[in-house]
C-alpha cells in the first residue's frame, strides 16, 4: 500500500508505542491484552485525530486553503486537534460545536477541549442539539468563500477517505510492530464513532491480508448494524482509493453497540469502572466519551468469555483524556 501517493504533512509522533498491559491481563485472567498508544500522537496532547489530520492538512495545504472549517460535539477532541494543526500551518480554524450532550453544567462549555480550542485561537460557535451540522458547515464554507477566503472543510471526526488514510497508516505501523515483536495479534478493539478510525484500520488490515479482526465498540450509534454499514461504506471507498483488489468483505466489519448506554457523552457504570481500572492498575488515563466506552466493552466481552485465553488483543487507545475535566464531578463528589 503506497500512501506516499497522497498529500501529507508529517507532525504526528509516530510510531506510537505498542505495550503490554500485564496488570489488566492478570486481573481479568487472560486473554493477553496490549495497548496501542494513539493517545500519544503528540499534537496538543495527542489522540486519534492527529493521524487523520496529517492527510487532511496535507490536502488542505496542497489546495491552497487558508481556513479550516469543521464540526464536533462541544468537548470534541477532533476540534481541539484540528485547531492546533491549523496553528502549526498558519491556517484559521472555524468550528461549529453541537450541543448534543444533555444536562451538562456550565464548565462543560469552557474546560478541557474547549479551553484548548480557545488557546489555539479557533473560532468556536455553539449550536443547539438537533441542528443539521453538515448544512451549517456548508453555509459557513460559503460565507468564508464569499468574503474572499479559501475554506477547507473537514467533516466531523475527520472521517472521509482522506482522513481514513491516517488509520490505514496506523494499520501498517501496527503490523510492522507485530512482526518485529513476533506478536500474533488476533483482535484490535477500540471505540468507534464517526467511523474513520475503524474504516482506515479495516481497509489497511484487510488490504494487507492480516487476518486480524477489528472490533469497534460504538460510542454513539445504538444500532450495531448501522455502524457496521457506515464503516463498511467508508472502508470500501478508502480501499478503492488505495487500489485494494477485491474490495472489503462486509462480513469483516464488526461493531458492538451494547456499551453505548443512554447515549453519546453519557458514561455508564462500565465506562467509569474502565477509567478506574486502567488508572489504578496500568497508570493510564482513558476518557469518558470514547476510549473508556471501548474499554468497558472489551472488559465485559473478556468477562463473558467472548475471547479465547490464548488470544492476543490490542486495545487502540484513541486519546481524549482532556475531556475528563468536563466530567470531574464523578471523582470529586
Ligand atoms: C478520543 C476518541 N476516540 C475515538 C473516537 C472515534 O473515532 P472515529 O470518529 O474515527 O470513529 C474519537 C472521535 O471523535 C475520539 O475523539
CA atoms within 13 A on the CB side of 183: 21
Residues 67 and 26 placed together within one structural domain of the fold: no
Number of separate domains in the chain:
2
The answer to pTM > 0.95 is yes
CA of 217 to the centre of ligand 1 (A): 11
Residues 188 and 302 placed together within one structural domain of the fold: yes
Helix (H) or strand (E) holding 270: helix 269-282
Residues 153 and 64 placed together within one structural domain of the fold: yes
In the prediction, which pLDDT does 36 show?
98
Name the closest-CA residue to atom 13, ligand 1.
157
Residue 143 main-chain phi, psi, to 5 deg: -65, -40
Residues 6+ apart with CB under 8 A from 152: 56, 59, 60, 63, 65, 67, 68, 69, 91
Residues 151 and 173 placed together within one structural domain of the fold: no
CA of 194 to the centre of ligand 1 (A): 7
CA atoms within 13 A on the CB side of 114: 19
Residues 299 and 172 placed together within one structural domain of the fold: yes
How distant, in Å, are the alpha carbons of 61, 110, 164, 290 from that of 113?
25, 8, 22, 14
* DSSP structure string for 224-256: HHHHHHHHHHHHHHHHHHHT-TT---GGG-EEE
Q: In terms of C-beta density within 10 A (0-12 exposed, 13-18 middle, 19 or more buried), how is residue 167 classed?
A: buried
Residues 151 and 186 placed together within one structural domain of the fold: no
Nearest-atom number in ligand 1 for the CA of 190 is 4
Give the separation between CA 110 and CA 106, rounded to whole angstroms: 7
Query: Where does a domain end: 115, 142, 158?
Result: 158
Give the separation between CA 114 and CA 74, rounded to whole angstroms: 7
Residues 305 and 169 placed together within one structural domain of the fold: yes
217-231 residue pLDDT tens: 999 999 999 999 999
CA of 164 to the centre of ligand 1 (A): 12
Residues 69 and 144 placed together within one structural domain of the fold: yes
Per-residue pLDDT of the chain (333 residues; tens, 9 = 90+): 899 999 999 999 999 999 999 999 999 998 999 999 999 999 999 999 999 999 999 999 999 999 999 999 999 999 999 999 999 999 999 999 999 999 888 899 999 999 999 999 999 999 999 999 999 999 999 999 999 999 999 999 999 999 999 999 999 999 999 999 999 999 999 999 999 999 999 999 999 999 999 999 999 999 999 999 999 999 999 999 999 999 999 999 999 999 999 999 999 999 999 999 999 999 999 999 999 999 999 999 999 999 999 999 999 999 999 999 999 988 987
Pocket probe mutation, ligand 1, options 71, 194, 230, 287, max atoms within 8 Å of Cβ? 194
Query: Where does a domain end: 158, 189, 208?
Result: 158
Distance, first Cα to last Cα, the chain: 50
266-318 residue pLDDT tens: 999 999 999 999 999 999 999 999 999 999 999 999 999 999 999 999 999 99
Catalytic residue check, 76: yes
In the prediction, which pLDDT does 237 show?
98
Our answer on whether the CB atom of 197 is closer than 6 Å to any ligand 1 atom is yes
- C-alpha R_g of the chain: 19
Give the separation between CA 115 and CA 21, rounded to whole angstroms: 32
Our answer on whether the CB atom of 47 is closer than 6 Å to any ligand 1 atom is yes
Residues 197 and 146 placed together within one structural domain of the fold: no
Q: What does the angle CA 71 – CA 77 – CA 81 come to, to the nearest 5 degrees?
A: 85
In the prediction, which pLDDT does 330 show?
87
Our answer on whether the CB atom of 38 is closer than 6 Å to any ligand 1 atom is no
Residues 59 and 109 placed together within one structural domain of the fold: yes
Q: What is the CATH number of the domain that holds 19?
A: 3.40.50.1100
Give the separation between CA 24 and CA 20, rounded to whole angstroms: 9
Residues 200 and 235 placed together within one structural domain of the fold: yes
In the prediction, which pLDDT does 103 show?
86
**Domain span including residue 83:** 49-158
Give the separation between CA 159 and CA 197, rounded to whole angstroms: 8
Our answer on whether the CB atom of 78 is closer than 6 Å to any ligand 1 atom is yes
Residues 194 and 107 placed together within one structural domain of the fold: no
Does the N-terminal peptide bond of residue 31 adopt cis geometry, omega within 30 degrees of 0? yes
Query: Where does a domain end: 111, 129, 158?
Result: 158
CA of 61 to the centre of ligand 1 (A): 24
In the prediction, which pLDDT does 104 show?
86
Amino acid at each position: 500500500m503506497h500512501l506516499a501517493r497522497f498529500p501529507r504533512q508529517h507532525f504526528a509522533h509516530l510510531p506510537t508505542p505498542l505495550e503490554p498491559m500485564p496488570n489488566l491481563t492478570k486481573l481479568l485472567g487472560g486473554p493477553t491484552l496490549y495497548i496501542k498508544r494513539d493517545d500519544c500522537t503528540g499534537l496538543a496532547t495527542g489522540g486519534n485525530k492527529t493521524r487523520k489530520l496529517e492527510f487532511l492538512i496535507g490536502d488542505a495545504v496542497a489546495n491552497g486553503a487558508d481556513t479550516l472549517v469543521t464540526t464536533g460535539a462541544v468537548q470534541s477532541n477532533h476540534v481541539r486537534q484540528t485547531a492546533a494543526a491549523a496553528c502549526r500551518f498558519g491556517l484559521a480554524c472555524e468550528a461549529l460545536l453541537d450541543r448534543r450532550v444533555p444536562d451538562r453544567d456550565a464548565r462543560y462549555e469552557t474546560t478541557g477541549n474547549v479551553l484548548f480550542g480557545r488557546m489555539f485561537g479557533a473560532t468556536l460557535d455553539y449550536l443547539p442539539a438537533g441542528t443539521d451540522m453538515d448544512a451549517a458547515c456548508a453555509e459557513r464554507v460559503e460565507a468564508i468563500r464569499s468574503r474572499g477566503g479559501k475554506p477547507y472543510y473537514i467533516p466531523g471526526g475527520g472521517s472521509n477517505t482522506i482522513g481514513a488514510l491516517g488509520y490505514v497508516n496506523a494499520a501498517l505501523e501496527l503490523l510492522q510492530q507485530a512482526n518485529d515483536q513476533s506478536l500474533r495479534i488476533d483482535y484490535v478493539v477500540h471505540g468507534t464513532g464517526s467511523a474513520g478510525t475503524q474504516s482506515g484500520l479495516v481497509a489497511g488490515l484487510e488490504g494487507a491480508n492480516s487476518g486480524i479482526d477489528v472490533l469497534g465498540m460504538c460510542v454513539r450509534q445504538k444500532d450495531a448494524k448501522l455502524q457496521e454499514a457506515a464503516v463498511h461504506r467508508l472502508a470500501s471507498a478508502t480501499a478503492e482509493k488505495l487500489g485494494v483488489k477485491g474490495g472489503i468483505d462486509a462480513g469483516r466489519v464488526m461493531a458492538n453497540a451494547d456499551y453505548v448506554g443512554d447515549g453519546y457523552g453519557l458514561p455508564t457504570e462500565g465506562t467509569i469502572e474502565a477509567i478506574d481500572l486502567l488508572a489504578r492498575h496500568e497508570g493510564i488515563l482513558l476518557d469518558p466519551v470514547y476510549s473508556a466506552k471501548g474499554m468497558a466493552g472489551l472488559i465485559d466481552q473478556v468477562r463473558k468469555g467472548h475471547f479465547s485465553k490464548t488470544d492476543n488483543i490490542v486495545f487502540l487507545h484513541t486519546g481524549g483524556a482532556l475531556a475528563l475535566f468536563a466530567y470531574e464531578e464523578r471523582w470529586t463528589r
